[in-house]
Amino acid sequence: MIIQFNGLQETIPRDLNIRQLIKFFDEGDPHLIVEQNARYIYPKDYDTCMVMENDEIEFINPNLGG
């Protein structure tokens, strides 16, 4: 299915939750911030939060420099 991932159209398998999506994109940042349809997703919800067709997903690597 198709989602908007970090502003780009991406094809991903169906029935993925957020944790599986993180694995799918091979993201390893321990501070990763995930937004789904402009809403922050807490890590505790990664397993229950499903990715749906046309979702807008942002993976944000927090910027901690100053």
In whole angstroms, what is the distance from residue 66 CA to residue 29 CA?
Answer: 19
| Residue whose CB is less far from other proteins, 12 or 34 | 34
Residues ≥6 apart with Cβ < 8 Å to 51: 3, 12, 16, 17, 18, 21, 36, 57
Residue 44 sits in the site that holds other proteins (CB under 8 A): yes
Using CB under 8 A as the binding rule, whether residue 10 contacts other proteins is answered as: no
Nearer to other proteins, 14 or 31 (CB): 31
Binding site for other proteins (CB under 8 A): 7, 30-31, 33, 35, 38-40, 42-44, 58, 60-66
